[in-house]
Amino acid sequence: MKQLRIFAWLLAVMFSVNSAVQAALTIEITQGAEGAMPVAVVPFAWQGAMGEAPLDVAAVIGADLGRSGRFSVLSRSDMLAKPHQADQIRYQNWRLLNVESLVIGTVREAGGSYIVQFQLFDVFRGTQLIGYSIRSSASGMRRTAHQISDLIYEVLQGEPGVFATRIAYVTELRATDDSRRYSIQVADADGYNPKPVLNSSSPLMSPSWSPDGRKLAYVSFETGRPAIYIQELDNGSREKITSFKGVNGAPVWSPDGKRLALVLSKSGSLDIYIMDLASKKLERITRSYAIDTEPVWSPDGSELVFTSDRGGRPQLYRIDLAERQVKRLTFEGKYNARASFSPDGRSLAFVHTEGNFFRIALMDLQTGAIQVLTDTGLDESPSFAPNGSMIIYATESKSGRGVLSAVSIDGRVRQRLALQIGDAREPAWAPHKK
Amino acid sequence: MNVLSKVLVAIIPVVIIAGCSTQDTKMSDAESGVDSQGSMSSASMSQKDNDSAVTSAVSSDSGFSGDALDNPASLLSKRVIYFDFDKSDLDEASREIISAHAAYLTDHPSASVVLEGHADERGTREYNIGLGERRYKAVARMMALQGTSTRQVEGVSYGEERPVAMGNDDSSWRLNRRVEIVYQGR
């Protein structure tokens, strides 16, 4: 019942916000968690000369917290009062509603900009947990709201939030004349503010974030052949990194940002190489006649996990970069591929088949135990949130469109980010910006 | 395009007449088209330059004439090789098609092809790039074994990025697991 109310409330929020900001992605919570922490975010007061605040900040915060699956957010219509200052709060009202945490705030006009002030209270103790004033602009207010969500999340959940992070993904639009337009987009983690980084009439693949969140590596077929590029997001300048004969694919940054693991077939079959980005020197890492691809670095940079069909079918292997020892990691299922390391290095998310279905699974690297997190059929490209709480991945909607979804690592909370037109795929969750 | 369709309209009756003999002699058919090529390539050259040359590309009684690649009854008209899921094996029918193209390329050193390897949407994208590459290389290897110069054959894998059929069912997937033989400059 509570879940339903939250869902209805979120829908209402989505519509009201949607009319203000044209977003290409909409969010839908397909499954909520039990035991979520009840929280109320009171609409922020507006202190300006006229009209209203540039953004309903409280609505964005509420949507963020609800989307994480860790919180159940009280509907505005259930609020008995809407305080804006600490001395207006009557804690017993909120206790009656079983609210554990309360957020209040104000948006104040200050010259050409705005001051967003908020406070978070523990309802049962009747004490303030945090309070901040943040200067913001009209266009930057969504980001400010996400930063507030991150602060609240960290205090209440004990780990950093990921609401102010971004995602990169590939879109494809098919015109009526069957021509196709591909692009790499970067959007806020909630799907708002999508901005194309690159548009092309040829396929684009495998966007990968630099650890500082300032660059993307990707594969483009714009010359009719695949080539790997690195592009700066601030100024759009880019550099062609490899364009060898055959495959140039699957670029991924090392955790220190100095090297790029990538896949080339210049020696015959697909093998994994590491390029030192300063010297552009290539080092060959795997030597097999099989397909070796989709490398991913362990967070400490000491090893790569990759997909190989050297055993007959695609399975995951790890290679220790110092000793060059290769060890097979997956044995369960006919197809295990495209791993993503959790930020703590303890688990891998990857594509795993159950019968004819391709799903996202999580493996505990200590025990080798596998947990399947999704129940759809063509799931691919898992990517961990930088705090490790969720995994974003690509799947297909019932109508066959490519859509992005996210699932919590316990598999209990799922949300879908659907493009209004075209297909979205290959999501890559950006690191926390440094 | 107009020229081509005119040629096809002119050719089709001839092909149908000659059709019964093509069934069991596919290879020699392709070769006979190739044998007469010396004169034909000049005809096809003039077709490009001058529309009036169209009629001269069809001769009276020796079955198809014109560039063998344009003969709809020839194996050379088949430019797509299909594969099983996660496989790059060539079946007998595919081998015959590839042999015909290999023979044509050997006899036409100035001709060249790009082999485009593709996969269906199942499985991961970069792995499917590998699969597309393995598929076009299987075709290229067979051509090389037939004596085709490696200079005439290039390959590119698009993985699952360029499907021809959009459904997500077996019939679409079957059509998407393919290598397309694309003649350059035609």
Q: In terms of domains, do A111 and A29 share one?
A: yes
Task: Indicate the average pLDDT of chain A.
Answer: 90
Query: What total of structural domains would you count in chain A?
Result: 2
Residues A379 and A360 sit within 8 Å (Cβ to Cβ): yes
Listed residue (A288, A289, A213) closest to A253, CA to CA: A213
| Residue A182 and residue A98 share a domain | no
pLDDT score of B17 = 38
User: A153 in helix, strand or coil?
Assistant: helix
Query: Homologous superfamily of B79-183 in CATH?
Result: OmpA-like domain (3.30.1330.60)
Cα–Cα dist B44/B168, whole Å: 41
Residue B16 has pLDDT above 60, yes or no: no
User: If contacts are CB pairs under 8 Å, which of residues 260-319 in chain A contact chain B?
Assistant: 263, 265, 269-270, 291, 293-294, 307, 309, 313-314
Do A196 and A87 fall into the same domain? no
Answer yes or no: do A148 and A183 share one domain: no
Put simply, whether B43 touches A (Cβ < 8 Å) is no
CA separation for the pair A407, A415 (Å, rounded): 7
Instruction: Tell me the per-residue pLDDT of A61-76, one tens digit each, with 9 for 90 and over.
Output: 999 998 888 899 999 9
Cβ <8 Å between A269 and B134:
yes
Cβ atoms of A340 and A322 within 8 Å: the answer is no
**Whether residue B141 has pLDDT greater than 60:** yes
User: Is A434 inside a domain boundary?
Assistant: no
Residue type (1 letter), A203: P
Q: Contacts of residue B125 in chain A, CB cutoff 8 Å? A: 205-206, 338, 380-381, 425-426
Task: Show which of A130, A157, A184 is a domain's final residue.
Answer: A157
Give yes or no: residues A89 and A197 share one domain: no
What is the mean pLDDT of the segment spanning A48-56? 90
**Over 90: is that where the pLDDT of B26 sits?**
no
Percent of chain A with pLDDT strictly greater than 90? 79
Q: Which of A123, A157, A191 is the last residue in one of the domains?
A: A157
Cα B161 from Cα A220, distance rounded (Å): 11
Please check whether residue B130 touches A, CB under 8 A.
yes
pLDDT of residue B30: 34
Domain contains A371: yes
Residue A416 has pLDDT above 90, yes or no: no
- Global pTM? 0.82
Give the domain ranges of chain B.
2-75, 79-183
**Domain for residue A296, yes or no?**
yes
Backbone angles phi, psi at A47, to 5 degrees: -120, 85
**Is A337 near chain B, with CB under 8 Å?**
yes
Mutate to test the interface with A, among B127, B135, B150 (most CBs of A within 10 A): B127
pLDDT tens string A169-211: 999 998 888 889 999 999 998 888 899 999 999 999 999 999 9
Mean pLDDT of A89-112: 95
Q: What is the pLDDT of residue A31?
A: 60
User: What's the whole-number average pLDDT of chain B?
Assistant: 76
How close B29 comes to chain A (CA, Å)?
A: 34
Where residue A338 sits, what CATH number does that domain have? Answer: 2.120.10.30
Residue range B23-49: mean pLDDT, rounded: 35
Say whether A205 and B161 touch across the interface (CB within 8 A). yes
Confidence bin at B18 (pLDDT 50/70/90) = very low
Classify residue B97 by its DSSP letter. H
At residue B13 the predicted structure's pLDDT band, cuts being 50, 70 and 90, is very low
B158–A203 C-beta distance less than 8 A: yes
Residues from chain A contacting residue B150 (CB–CB below 8 Å): none
User: What residue in A sits closest to B86 (Cα-Cα)?
Assistant: A313
Per-residue pLDDT for B39 more than 50? no
Is residue A216's pLDDT more than 80? yes
Inter-chain residue contact A263 with B126, CB threshold 8 Å = yes
In the three-class reduction of DSSP (H, G, I as helix; E, B as strand; rest coil), residue A11 is classed as helix
Shared domain for A149 and A199, answered yes or no, is: no
**Quick one: pLDDT band at residue A112, thresholds 50, 70, 90?**
confident
Between residues B175 and A36, which one has the greater pLDDT? Answer: B175
Helix (H) or strand (E) holding A103: strand A101-110
Higher per-residue confidence, B120 vs A22? B120
pLDDT band for position B166 (cuts 50, 70, 90):
confident
Cα of B92 vs its chain's centroid, Å: 16
Contact A224 B156 (CB under 8 A): yes
pLDDT beyond 70 at A151: yes
A404 and A264 within one domain = yes
Distance separating alpha carbons of residues A194 and A172, to the nearest angstrom: 14
A196 and A132 fall within a common domain: no
Rounded Cα distance between B9 and A198, Å, is 45
Question: CA-CA distance, B160 to A161, in Å (whole number)?
Answer: 35
Which structural domain, as residue segments, surrounds residue A14?
A: 2-157
